[in-house]
């Protein structure tokens, strides 16, 4: 653990499988009525490590004659690397689990969680279902997902949290007021936690030093852009404590960079659609053009943001679709 700001500690949970399961940053806002932000992984070993690190913080506080008690835990959104540890952390520390209604609904049981993760390929990934083979594939994928989350993340669900809060509210941590506000886009239920006096934002997966993953079914690029703009306008924002990777010491520059990157990506997709426009272009063709020399796994991940971008452009009436027997194709109407 490391005290990143006076009174706020970072505990890094290493995953060992960086590519499929990135390391997680857990923040402890320490004091007499402290809070854990994001629950991280739920595997026994990881929880043991987390408790050990929290005990070290407690010792540090005791040595300095300061009160220390962690009483509450809040998660940024219902993705497995952020909530999997909730149950075991509660059992070990007796903390109160605080969730927004949207997150509580996603993580209440396996069925609800899988629904938020598994998508209907036809509309979400813009793939036309191809009969029996498609159904077998989708069944196997579901099985794999289920196994993967349980074993790799140590997932368990929260049937009923101790407290449900609004996604736009204030909470008290160590007697200080922190603002909770909705920041959807990467996930529909995403919230952020802000203390204006300190200028500290805990932003979950919204603002990372690397590009945040965006893909169906629970993401929306338009919402994501709006959330980044909201964060950019926060008065007195000095530092962003990100859920993965490095802390963001230059929030203004980083948020400008993120918005520019999204603009660039949208333009790239639109340019390809315009180029192909006479017969329309499919998401597969766009991905091939964008990632011509990249590996299959990389292009499969990219399908998420490409499809979301196409749908955003469609909503804005910039492009239109033609649904064929095998593919969905897009074109720019004003060019035809």
Residues that bind Zn ion (CB under 5 A): 79, 205
Collapsed DSSP state (helix, strand, coil) of residue 152: helix
Asked if residues 46 and 85 have their Cβ atoms less than 8 Å apart, the reply is: yes
**By C-beta, is 79 or 303 nearer to Zn ion?**
79
Residue 161 is encoded by which pair of tokens? 């949290």
- Nearest distance from residue 104's CB to Zn ion, in Å? 16
**By C-beta, is 208 or 319 nearer to Zn ion?**
208
**By C-beta, is 79 or 262 nearer to Zn ion?**
79
- Nearest distance from residue 228's CB to Zn ion, in Å? 15
**By C-beta, is 255 or 281 nearer to Zn ion?**
255
Rounded Cα distance, 205 and 183, in Å: 10
- Nearest distance from residue 277's CB to Zn ion, in Å? 35
Rounded Cα distance, 21 and 325, in Å: 37
Rounded Cα distance, 278 and 326, in Å: 18
**By C-beta, is 79 or 311 nearer to Zn ion?**
79
- Nearest distance from residue 178's CB to Zn ion, in Å? 21
**By C-beta, is 185 or 280 nearer to Zn ion?**
185
Q: Which residue is nearest to Zn ion (CB)?
A: 79
- Nearest distance from residue 185's CB to Zn ion, in Å? 11
**By C-beta, is 24 or 205 nearer to Zn ion?**
205
- Nearest distance from residue 214's CB to Zn ion, in Å? 10
- Torsional sign, CA 11, 298, 137, 17: negative
Collapsed DSSP state (helix, strand, coil) of residue 119: coil
State which H helix or E strand residue 211 sits in: none
Long-range contacts of 206-209 (CB under 8 A, 24+ apart): 206/231, 207/231, 207/240, 207/242, 207/248, 207/251, 207/254, 207/255, 207/258, 208/242, 208/243, 208/244, 208/245, 208/248, 209/242, 209/245, 209/246, 209/248, 209/254
Sheet holding 169-173, edge to edge: 169-173, 176-182, 191-195, 200-202, 239-241
- Nearest distance from residue 264's CB to Zn ion, in Å? 22
End-to-end CA distance of the chain: 59
Rounded Cα distance, 41 and 13, in Å: 8
């Amino acid at each position: 653990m490391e005290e990143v700001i006076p009174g706020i500690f970072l505990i890094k949970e290493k995953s060992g499988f960086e590519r499929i399961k990135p390391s997680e940053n857990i923040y402890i806002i320490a004091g007499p009525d402290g809070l854990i932000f994001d629950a991280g992984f739920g595997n026994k070993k990881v929880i043991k490590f987390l408790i050990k690190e929290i005990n070290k913080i407690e010792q540090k506080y005791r040595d300095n004659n300061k009160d220390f008690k962690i009483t509450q835990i809040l998660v940024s959104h219902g993705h497995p690397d952020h909530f999997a540890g909730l149950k075991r952390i509660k059992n070990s520390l007796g903390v109160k689990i605080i969730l927004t209604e949207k997150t509580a609904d996603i993580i209440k049981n396996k069925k609800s969680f899988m629904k938020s993760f598994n998508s209907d390929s036809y509309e979400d990934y813009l793939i036309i279902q191809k009969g029996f083979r498609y159904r077998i594939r989708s069944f196997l994928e579901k099985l794999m997902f289920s196994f993967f989350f349980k074993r790799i993340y140590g997932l368990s669900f929260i049937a009923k949290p101790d407290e449900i809060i609004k996604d736009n509210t204030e909470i008290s941590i160590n007697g200080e007021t922190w603002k909770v506000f909705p920041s959807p886009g990467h996930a529909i239920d995403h919230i952020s936690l802000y203390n204006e006096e300190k200028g500290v934002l805990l932003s979950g997966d919204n603002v990372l030093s690397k590009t945040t993953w965006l893909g169906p079914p629970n993401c929306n690029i338009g919402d994501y852009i709006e959330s980044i703009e909201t964060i950019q306008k926060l008065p007195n924002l000095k530092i962003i404590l990100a859920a993965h990777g490095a802390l963001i010491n230059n929030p203004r520059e980083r948020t400008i960079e993120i918005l520019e990157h999204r603009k660039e990506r949208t333009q790239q997709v639109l340019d390809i659609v315009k180029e192909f426009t006479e017969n329309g272009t499919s998401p597969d063709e766009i991905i091939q053009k964008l990632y011509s020399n990249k590996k299959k796994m990389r292009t499969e991940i990219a399908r998420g943001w490409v499809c979301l971008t196409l749908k955003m452009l469609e909503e804005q009436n910039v492009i239109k679709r033609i649904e064929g027997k095998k593919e969905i194709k897009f074109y720019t109407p004003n060019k035809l």
